[in-house]
Structure 1
Amino acid sequence: MRIQYALFGMFLAIAPSAYALEVGSPPVLAPLRQQAQAARLSAQFLTRFGYKPVPLDDALSAKIMTRFIKSLDPDRVLFLQADIDKFMTNSTKIDDAIKREDLRIPFSIFNVYEQRVVGRMKYARNLLKQNFDFSVRESYSLLRDEAPWPQSEGESDDLWRKRVKGDWLRLKLAGKTDAVIRDTLDRRYQNSLERAFKYKSDDVFQSFMDAYTTSVDPHTDYFGARAAAEFDISMKLSLVGIGAVLQERDDYTTIRELVPGGPAQLSGKLAVGDRITGVGQGKDGPVKEVVGTRLDEIVQMIRGKKDSVVRLDILPADVGPDGSHRLISLTRDKISLEKQAARKTILSIKDGKATRKIGAITLPAFYEDFEARRKGDPDYRSASRDVAKLLGELKQDDVDGVVIDLRDNGGGSLTEAIELTGLFVGKGPVVQQRGADGRVEVGRDDLPTPAWTGPVGVLINRGSASASEIFAAAIQDYGRGVIVGEPSFGKGTVQTVVNLDKAAHNSKPKFGELKLTIAQFFRVNGGTTQLRGVTPDISLPGLSDPKSFGEASYDNALPWTQIKPVNYAPTDNMAAFLPKLRSLHDARVRNDRDFQRFVEDVAELKAQREKGIISLNLTERRNELAARKARLKARAQINDGLDLGGDDGLQANERSLSADIAIENARKNAKDVLLNEAAAILADEADLLEGMQ
């Protein structure tokens, strides 16, 4: 998924190193020549080869300007109206500037942004010296994306007074003392202040190119060198490194998790909570201190070529800042990202005296190691291959049905979506693609017989997009299985990745990559998932807000349309079972206390979100909190992953590592009400099929 969130929000959530910061302004950032060249080269592709080419003119220029400003200050709490007025005088000049390789306009805006961040954070820290009056009846609006920009410094000050007051009140309601609150918030704002001094030109350029590409199409992206590398890792599910998950905490890069079987875990030299203070390359290269260095830069220093050596200066978890360090050497190796791969579980569903075994395969993404496949590696990694293996295991386990869990699966390889469909449908057409020239191609799978012929269900939510929708739609059109959940995202377009350096015949990478929309896909029945997504056969409650998440939330999304259906033969008649399955589902969840509590929690979360404002009055907030706790106490609580009762007021990096991991584990171990119900629906289908024999 694209990084569309404000840089301001990003650095509030990350704790960089602490250092004395008494200077008045952050460094002035300027564009590099290669960035301006990359922007012009991208424009050439975007205006000529896109599915729906958009000319780089004054109209697009104005859209780019608006999106760029919104990416920096989405809640309109940093810039003043006077800033916006000044920026907009250049709103129709960006197109010409890109063509002549001049990026001074976005960089000048970003430099003002940095100054505003510094000013607001210094003001926020000064507010902590006073005491707040929580007896006053006032509120703070959380939904400010369409609010007027502050007209004056005084209006901005009042806005930030309420914002800081809200942060203080959250901690106060969590039982923190005034001294602890002051210290916590001072460190939070100081970290944010320091972050403004660590931005580089690459950050500005990436943000600007995001604004440009999304103004053309919601799913067109620009990847700088690092972003391109991360995309490649996400598709092949592997990287070369030491096998450690890192996090910035309390001014240090900290070991959050060790990957089983990785060099770090096998060495026995590292533990969760250890802090990396220096990195050296090779067996005798100098060790560079990294306290205060950005996490992404440290990650790049630790990754490298297979079998090469990296040395780490470690401050152990159990010692203070002045404790003894130790220097360790690790040999880099290929790390498989198993947590992002397909995985299975078996659920036991009781139906009277009988018990059905339902297999559940969770697929986080449609991954594929393109390079290994292209080279003919017989053991290349892919989603469909992994699922085929899991289906074989579930057959051995004698399960009665299989649920494919595609919740929050944003897509990936189109080929993998086709091949995964073949595992359940067999040989036949899966998806249609219409290119910019209007020609339609049909994607088919050639698997002679399905790998799984029993009952199948597909669990989707609003985060299920692209390849997930191709698979779910094909299963639905073939009548092969039941689709359960909430309407999917609605992304019905196809992208290809263009290596700009290859296009420019560069010997070394410097321009990055462009993910360009080149086609629209259609179901075998002729419809498209574009905009409308896949409508489930049986609806389950969802947490998302369709107004802000999904294809329909984009102002430049392609409309829904349809083409001629392809010649295909439905393999099953799921429609005949649906009325009975819905009836059984309705009756079951009506009497399922866990499911009804989940419905209540979802309704509560939606009500909180739609309210849009929070009271800054202590009595009112305490009453709200007491009412919520009373409601939860009145019932036997269920850990459904939606914690509505407690709020410690802290950000993740402000808790102890053990507390943060405990919260994460509690969410992982929460009862999955929706998956359980999807499995129960499959058990019902198995019963119906058995009754027909």
Structure 2
Amino acid sequence: MKRILIVCGVLFYSVFGFAQNNYGKYSYDDLEPSETQHKVEQFVTQFLNNYHYQKFNVDDELSTKVFNNMIESIDGGHSYFTQSDIEEFEKYRFLIDDALLSGDLEIPFEIFNKYRRVYKKRFDYVMNFLDKPFDFTSNEMYSVDEEEKDWAYSEEDLDKEWDKIITSQALSLKLSGSSDSAIVSTLKRRFDRYESRVAKWHSEDIFQTYMNSFTRAIDPHTSYMIPRTAAQFNIDMSQSLEGIGARLQNNDDYVMIMDIIPGGPLFKTQLANNDDYILGVAQGDDGEFQDIVGWLTDDAVNLIRGKKGTVVRLLLKAKEAPINSEPREIRIVRDKIKLEEAVASAEVLELKDGDSVYKIGLIDIPMFYRDFDGARSGDDFQSTTKDVDVFLKDFNSKGLDGVIIDLRNNGGGSLTEAINLTGLFIPNGPVVQRRTGKGRIDVEKDNDTSVSYSGPLLVLQNRHSASASEIFAGAIQDYNRGLIVGEQSFGKGTVQQLVNLDQFLLSPRVASRKGAASKGIEEEERYGQLKLTTEKFYRITGNSTQNKGVVPDIALPTPWDSEESGESSMESALPYDQISSSTFTKENTITIEVLSKITNQYNERLSTDEEMKLLVKDIELYKKQREIKEYSLNYEVRLKEKNDNEEVISAIKKLRKTKEGDDRANDVYLVEAQKILKDLIAYQEQ
């Protein structure tokens, strides 16, 4: 293959939303594919068939997956199409495989054009409904369970469903303090934006969504980007833009935080998480919030981005939060993304236990970073391993009792650093295995026999610890070198590559003119980019980190189910599997006997410590709230439900990682990790 950029550590997500267009006055005329799109469809199908890690057949089974993904991308809430529409589309279910191979785009464009027509009709109905007074005294219930929702049999059934949708949205605004007139104004602007977004679709938007319905059927980290999206992606990857430091993406009607960039202003607040919805944006400390539900990502970015030093406030709500939960407000000072500030940091914590005081070294690693240019040139360069090595030597000189490596929210980074960091805690040996789609296995090793720290060690992780984080934590666990504590990690055990399709599809004459700005020639990307999965990571035991992640030795209370978040929640995620184990010698610092005793002490705290008992109780209540899929459309009932929810939600906030310098007592996971490490220290001293 030609120029390919490896992306193996940091989580990048496919964009299944629609990019903004500036094509002037828009209409609802049917859109048609271009010749270029026919060509790209056929090429991408063949390319993925040849080079994707997982071999797949372009057959009826794939066709039905693409068909389902496409319908879900268009109308996942079953709110626009009727049962008769879906029955009409069924004739295409097993024809998409042939279309992919031949470059035929008639099916997706027919379905999307039909959607645009029914959308316009539904928009007119909504606007008429908003001209009528709201009834907040109804005893009707509104279901938000999309998986169990059937397609409406008639337009009249859809009308009734939309009456509930609009009333529920109005209730949410009323519960936040809005007047009826303000609610109508907000909802009219919101649905006007929805309509504008659909009306402004260009053929490229339809093509990108259709192609990602295909790539998502193969695996969730494989995606196609149209030229405009690819260009913006490359800008975001290469420039430090002034803003909040987050990658955003449309998810249904919301703008969602997909990735918080280490070193950015949002990262520094430690008040947001991946998968948070952004409901509103306000400028400065006193500005009014602008509702951005229904906005395109591009529009939201333009509103959020601003000059360095200025303030922007966001209203955030977790994707899995109950419908009645109040959004939280956070304040951010805009700044440039400074990756040099997303480096490891260290501090000494003191834990009192009776008359004893334990000194614990805490090392927070937000990402695995490495200055590759500096390393290649032979100059002194910065890296995760070098920084942590300095911290460990300082801890050794101070005679600390134990060390915690905090990998919470660490989405990965440099594989080299994950390997080298492991080497600070073991004499030498294999750290991770890599398998290509053709079956070749490479064993990555730490060859440095020196050990920087040999004392009690605990690694703290959560569901957002991924990729390189999982490689490090998995190796520490496999060597029995330290305790892994927290939540089950994300489970991303795959490697992606970025492929510029222009390198394959542009003619040599046109390709030679690319980048020839000095000659006054401007050539835009014409075919876009493809991101595909090419390798899989395996632990030294032969177990994959894919899908399963790293299961902690001691699992702390969590409100999240592994099937609801992380890799295992993605329908097309590559499976967990095993290969042969590497040859390695365990450290046996964590024996079965020691782990059993520490686990027993932890379980005893769960049943006797009043704060832990309350936390477990609140988590169970929170889980039950999230299981509720039907909500009342009565204001008084919803108000009581909201008030009942708030106390539980405030308890869940204690599970968040605290910002450096904040009161560590509010970080429940870190507090409990210290107690677990104290138990390990005590047993190793015996």
Report TM bin, short chain.
0.7 to 0.9
- Aligned residue number for residue 405 of structure 1: 406
Relative to 1, partners in 2 of residues 1:612 and 1:5: Cα closer, same or farther, differing over 3 Å? Answer: farther
- Aligned residue number for residue 527 of structure 2: 511
- Aligned residue number for residue 672 of structure 1: 667
Q: 1:53 aligns with which of 52, 55, 60?
A: 55
Q: Which amino acid aligns with 2:550?
A: V
Q: Alpha-carbon deviations, 1:53-79, whole Å to 9, x = none?
A: 112233322211211221232222232
1:687 aligns with 2:686: no
Question: SS state of the match for residue 447, structure 1?
Answer: coil
- Aligned residue number for residue 451 of structure 1: 452
- Aligned residue number for residue 215 of structure 2: 213
Gap regions ≥5 residues in structure 2? 1-10, 250-260, 266-282, 288-293, 313-334, 515-524
- Aligned residue number for residue 424 of structure 1: 425
Q: For 2:453 and 2:161, how far apart are their aligned partners in 1?
A: 58
Query: 8 Å contact 1:594–1:638 — kept in the other structure?
Result: no
Shift of 1:46: 1.3
1:156 aligns with 2:172: no
Query: 8 Å contact 1:4–1:71 — kept in the other structure?
Result: no
- Aligned residue number for residue 604 of structure 1: 621
Q: For 1:414 and 1:49, how far apart are their aligned partners in 2?
A: 22
Q: For 2:490 and 2:29, how far apart are their aligned partners in 1?
A: 40
- Aligned residue number for residue 66 of structure 1: 68
Q: For 1:665 and 1:451, how far apart are their aligned partners in 2?
A: 25
Query: 8 Å contact 2:665–2:671 — kept in the other structure?
Result: no
Q: 1:93 aligns with which of 92, 95, 108?
A: 95
Q: Which amino acid aligns with 1:464?
A: S
Shift of 1:477: 0.6
Q: Alpha-carbon deviations, 1:600-652, whole Å to 9, x = none?
A: 332222111112111222343344345456x679xxx7683589xxxxxxxxx
1:184 aligns with 2:186: yes
Q: 2:82 aligns with which of 59, 80, 83?
A: 80
Question: SS state of the match for residue 666, structure 2?
Answer: coil
1:481 aligns with 2:473: no
Q: Alpha-carbon deviations, 1:436-464, whole Å to 9, x = none?
A: 33332211122332333332222223333
Relative to 1, partners in 2 of residues 1:149 and 1:54: Cα closer, same or farther, differing over 3 Å? Answer: same
Q: Which amino acid aligns with 2:161?
A: L
Q: For 2:346 and 2:28, how far apart are their aligned partners in 1?
A: 50
Relative to 1, partners in 2 of residues 1:357 and 1:234: Cα closer, same or farther, differing over 3 Å? Answer: farther
- Aligned residue number for residue 133 of structure 2: 131
- Aligned residue number for residue 194 of structure 1: 196
Q: Which amino acid aligns with 1:67?
A: N
Instruction: Give the structure-1-normalised TM-score.
Output: 0.74
Query: 8 Å contact 2:460–2:484 — kept in the other structure?
Result: yes
Q: Which amino acid aligns with 1:680?
A: K
Query: 8 Å contact 1:2–1:221 — kept in the other structure?
Result: no
Shift of 1:2: 5.9
Query: 8 Å contact 1:639–1:670 — kept in the other structure?
Result: no
Shift of 1:161: 0.8
Greater shift, 554-563 or 146-155, is seen at: 554-563
Relative to 1, partners in 2 of residues 1:167 and 1:527: Cα closer, same or farther, differing over 3 Å? Answer: same
Relative to 1, partners in 2 of residues 1:498 and 1:483: Cα closer, same or farther, differing over 3 Å? Answer: same
Alignment of 1:653-664 (within 5 A): none
Shift of 1:574: 0.5
Shift of 1:555: 4.4
Relative to 1, partners in 2 of residues 1:59 and 1:544: Cα closer, same or farther, differing over 3 Å? Answer: same
- Aligned residue number for residue 532 of structure 1: 548
Greater shift, 497-506 or 153-162, is seen at: 497-506
Shift of 1:350: 2.2
Q: Which amino acid aligns with 1:78?
A: Y
Question: SS state of the match for residue 83, structure 1?
Answer: helix
Question: SS state of the match for residue 424, structure 1?
Answer: coil
Q: Alpha-carbon deviations, 1:326-368, whole Å to 9, x = none?
A: xxxxxxx985245755444544322223333334344444455
Q: Alpha-carbon deviations, 1:3-42, whole Å to 9, x = none?
A: 578749x99xxxx99xxx9x99556544444444333332
Q: 2:653 aligns with which of 619, 640, 645?
A: 640
1:561 aligns with 2:556: no
Q: Alpha-carbon deviations, 1:528-556, whole Å to 9, x = none?
A: 33343322111112232333334444444
Question: SS state of the match for residue 89, structure 1?
Answer: helix
Q: Which amino acid aligns with 1:521?
A: F
Relative to 1, partners in 2 of residues 1:56 and 1:403: Cα closer, same or farther, differing over 3 Å? Answer: same
Q: Alpha-carbon deviations, 1:182-228, whole Å to 9, x = none?
A: 22323322333333344444443332232211212233333455665
1:222 aligns with 2:217: no
Q: For 1:623 and 1:301, how far apart are their aligned partners in 2?
A: 34
Q: Alpha-carbon deviations, 1:460-480, whole Å to 9, x = none?
A: 233333333222211101011
Q: Which amino acid aligns with 1:600?
A: K
- Aligned residue number for residue 437 of structure 2: 436
Query: 8 Å contact 2:654–2:666 — kept in the other structure?
Result: yes
Question: SS state of the match for residue 145, structure 2?
Answer: coil
Shift of 1:408: 4.0
Question: SS state of the match for residue 433, structure 1?
Answer: strand
Q: For 1:119 and 1:475, how far apart are their aligned partners in 2?
A: 58
1:621 aligns with 2:642: no
Question: SS state of the match for residue 80, structure 2?
Answer: coil
Q: For 2:231 and 2:367, how far apart are their aligned partners in 1?
A: 17
Q: Which amino acid aligns with 1:606?
A: K
Query: 8 Å contact 1:641–1:671 — kept in the other structure?
Result: yes
- Aligned residue number for residue 326 of structure 1: none
Q: For 2:481 and 2:452, how far apart are their aligned partners in 1?
A: 13
Query: 8 Å contact 2:458–2:483 — kept in the other structure?
Result: yes
Relative to 1, partners in 2 of residues 1:5 and 1:394: Cα closer, same or farther, differing over 3 Å? Answer: farther
Q: Which amino acid aligns with 1:414?
A: L
Relative to 1, partners in 2 of residues 1:348 and 1:162: Cα closer, same or farther, differing over 3 Å? Answer: farther
Q: For 1:404 and 1:86, how far apart are their aligned partners in 2?
A: 56
Q: Alpha-carbon deviations, 1:649-672, whole Å to 9, x = none?
A: xxxxxxxxxxxxxxx999999922
Gap regions ≥5 residues in structure 1? 249-256, 261-270, 276-291, 304-310, 318-332, 644-663
Q: For 1:230 and 1:569, how far apart are their aligned partners in 2?
A: 47
Q: For 1:111 and 1:389, how far apart are their aligned partners in 2?
A: 60
Greater shift, 675-684 or 339-348, is seen at: 339-348
Say what the alpha-carbon RMSD is for the aligned residues. Answer: 4.5
Relative to 1, partners in 2 of residues 1:87 and 1:97: Cα closer, same or farther, differing over 3 Å? Answer: same
Question: SS state of the match for residue 518, structure 1?
Answer: strand
Relative to 1, partners in 2 of residues 1:96 and 1:174: Cα closer, same or farther, differing over 3 Å? Answer: same
- Aligned residue number for residue 548 of structure 1: 564
1:239 aligns with 2:239: yes
Question: SS state of the match for residue 533, structure 1?
Answer: coil
Shift of 1:412: 4.3
Query: 8 Å contact 2:654–2:668 — kept in the other structure?
Result: no
Relative to 1, partners in 2 of residues 1:128 and 1:386: Cα closer, same or farther, differing over 3 Å? Answer: farther
Question: SS state of the match for residue 424, structure 2?
Answer: helix
Question: SS state of the match for residue 483, structure 1?
Answer: strand
Greater shift, 336-345 or 470-479, is seen at: 336-345
Query: 8 Å contact 1:409–1:465 — kept in the other structure?
Result: yes
Alignment of 1:250-265 (within 5 A): none
Q: For 1:27 and 1:393, how far apart are their aligned partners in 2?
A: 69
Relative to 1, partners in 2 of residues 1:297 and 1:605: Cα closer, same or farther, differing over 3 Å? Answer: closer
Q: Alpha-carbon deviations, 1:575-621, whole Å to 9, x = none?
A: 24212222232233444444333323322221111121112223433
1:587 aligns with 2:588: no
